[in-house]
Amino acid sequence: MGTDELLATQRNSVRRQMRATRPDALAERIGEAGLATAVLLCPFVLGGAHPGGRFVYLLGAALAALGMASAATLRGRTLSTPRWIGVVLLSATAIPVLQVIPLPLSPAAVTAVDFQEMLPAWEGTLGLAEWRTLSVSPRDTLLGLAVMVGHALLVFALIERLRSVDDLRRAITAIAVSTIGMVLLALAQYGARRGGLCGLIDHPYTDFRDLQGTFTNKNHFAHFALLGLGPTVWLVFARLRHADSGRCRKVAGRAVLGRVGWLVCPAMVVTAILASRSRGAGAALAISTLIVAIVLTRAGRFTLRQAIAIAAVLALTLAGVSIMGTEAVSSRMGALVQLDIDALDQKHARRAIWQANIEAFCASPIFGFGVGSHRHIYPAFIEAPFAAEFTHAESGYLQIASETGLLGLLVLALAIAGVGSAVIGGLARCNDQDELGLRLAILFGLIASATHSVVDFVWYRPGLVAPTLVLLIGAVRLDSLREAAAVREFLGVRRKALLHAGGLAALSSFALILTWPSVASSRAWADYLRASSGERAMIQRLVTEDPQHADPILADTIGQASHRITNLLRRTIELDPKNSKAHRLYAYRLINRFELESDTRSTGMTLDVIADAARNGGFATVDERGAWLDRALGPHATDLREARRHARIALRLCPFDAEAWLCLASLSFLDPSLDDPRPLIEQACRLCPHDGGVLFESGRLFALHGDIRRQFDLWQRCLNVRGGHVTRLVLWVSQTTPASAFIGALQPDFEALEIALQQYSRRGNQDDMVALAKYAYGEAERAEKGGKEPPARLAYRWRHAGRALRSIGRYEEATEAAEKAVALAPHVFSSRHELAVCLRELGRHDEADAHTRWCLARRPDLAHLREWLTDSARRRVVADRGRGGSRPLYGSSEQSGRDPNAPAQVVPCRTSSHQGMIK
């Protein structure tokens, strides 16, 4: 290199360094860092599902917008946005603003929804101020508004940054690389099966054992992979075209190896989509592929080399699926191929929640019930009971309809029309091979997003919306970038860039401030969820385990856990005072603490006894009643009054919270003006007519007011829904009601029957146990004759029937029931264990030992299994030595010396505490 060339190189290097340190260049680098944070980093922070991930997204979008606006201001350029995009963004942001602004009139005056009909107890019973907002959950709507502002900021930043086709190529490449990285992480984590995110982060809602990457839902992971599949294929084919030219042709072996290596990338992404077993993503993959193939064929650009490459990708995909497990994938996708709706939606859950959202839309068709209000409103409209909570509508279009009404649907239609016009028009005018590849990559991702959203609501995850916005803006900008055309000014008005930057700064600050309380309280809330889950497991163990083998410190451990949960909820409220659910849960925890401390008070009365005495005590005046309450409640009265205050706060934040209504009903005796709390109970039943917990608590409160008919009507419906309320119901009934009455009134299923067996066995009443055993055996026989239940559930019925029969000393029949359970489910530990117990009761130790060894091989930690085998060995030694006359520890009535004609005694189940662990 000559001296002149060297000097020129040095001068260019100095110029680049000077440009890089200029204020406008630094501002642009900050904007690019913000874009990388919002688009590339946010998906790896739980996809934006966690409040921290949402904050990362908003921070990245704010930095991107401010950086780009500052760079444009320093360069003297005017900021601009296409007119229709500006209208869409303004309208989408205005809807949640309109929903949270207090109206001068009742919402019923400007919408079709009649709040007085849906909330008759709001004004009539509590005398609360009239509800004035269109949203039934303003806090959730404000969070939705903050995310919408983040989307708008990101769109603005993308329009400013994508100033050339090369910029768009780099953006598409970044999405492809991000997708490949996510898939690699998901595959590595799935192979490790360690639990938790990367084996480190324990999430309260998921254990990350499915193929889901950093997302809390495998469907969302599959959607992210779908969005990146088009860019990945484009990147691979671009690299392959590059490999066919230049120096790569000189080394044929290395070139072939490189091609295969690149083809592995799209094959790996497709494999991950299929192995995630998301049928919605599988359908979206098929539809998007078909449309892109049609467009490519009609364009006449489908070459033999491309066909060979696609065939290689398919072969690699088949190999990957076989490694991941062909049977698991085919079993999930088989119903999709056959278009069997009943197989795709076996429990009718999706169709039920879709119908509920349609009903909600018809109830408030113009403005909807508020952004983010779905989990509060759907229970009032769903027509079937489900144990799971539907936080979202399982359809993006239906959720937008129920939450934002016709206004939201019109904005969505405008956005789809604008993007569709840009994509279709661009494809019609496209003549360049590279440009066609870019357009097809964008088209694939947008079609996948639109089709998958029909059966899943993926648009509320910022980690999924961000790459979608990159593809969307790329489709809109590609024509203007290619033609170097000037972008039309927003609403036709040229504004100063400095004013734009100031407005963007205000919007960014507003969005970040709105989301900060949920971010600050997220740690305490996550700790509460984990602690609450552990407490429920301990309570279930306490009520179902054998009292003879009960953990002596379990009750104290539950008390400590309850105290910690109360403190966590109080901390959550301190950091996020607008969290209505936290207020309601804290109110119930205060009531629970009052009940637990009832034994330490001088009166020893429970809350229900105090409430009944306050209403029916015949007090002459309100002051006399208040004085008696102060004495009865003692120093813990503050807990109840504080609970009532938090329940009212929860209702002011969200009047559709049925459990908050029930909390106020249980504390109504504290309010002298509220003589009859039944309207509050009916209000709760109106809002959640199929929620098991609400039905149980409503029935209990009706029973305390003497309405027994209403109580059992609600409890019969309650038992149709699985959940922790079943345990509470059985505990409450078993304390006061004979088993025969319990069976006749409620007809419990096998889940409730299991708990009833344990609770009634503790009472030691022979008639109760005989009634339960007869009912359990009859239900098992009826299910067997019906032939409709799967073998596993039928085995469950026979196992509990055997346990019930054994508890009343009918060992022969108990053994027959246990043998049926083992025949139906030979690999279920609890069935084998029950059969071993029954055989030992009959003295058939040799047969029992075979099942005991099977159980011990799978649960070597259970010491009683070794004791059983040791006892059997000792018996054989005694028998071999001819030492007769020794009475076996377990045997039939004749062997054990019992009189065969003597009445059977109630025998508690000898199944120890491990029964709770083996289910």
- One-letter amino acid of 670: L
- Of the CA atoms within 13 Å of residue 133, those in its CB half-sphere come to 24
The whole-angstrom separation of Cα 758 and Cα 105 is 56
pLDDT value at position 915?
32
pLDDT value at position 898?
39
Torsion from C-alpha of 77, 78, 81, 82, nearest 10 degrees: -100
The whole-angstrom separation of Cα 124 and Cα 694 is 21
Report yes or no: 46 and 215 within 8 Å, Cβ to Cβ: yes
pLDDT value at position 285?
94
pLDDT value at position 462?
94
- CA-based torsion, 594, 595, 601, 604: positive or negative: positive
Report yes or no: 390 and 353 within 8 Å, Cβ to Cβ: yes
Which DSSP category does 727 fall into?
H
Cα distance from N-terminal residue to C-terminal residue, the chain: 78
- CA-based torsion, 839, 845, 846, 850: positive or negative: positive
The whole-angstrom separation of Cα 884 and Cα 898 is 18
Report yes or no: 809 and 907 within 8 Å, Cβ to Cβ: yes
Q: Which residues of the chain have pLDDT under 50?
A: 14, 18, 247-251, 484-495, 885-919
Structure tokens at 429: 């005018």
3 state DSSP class of 737: coil
The whole-angstrom separation of Cα 743 and Cα 739 is 6
pLDDT value at position 748?
84
pTM higher than 0.85 for the full model?
no
Backbone angles phi, psi at 201, to 5 degrees: -100, 125
pLDDT value at position 722?
79
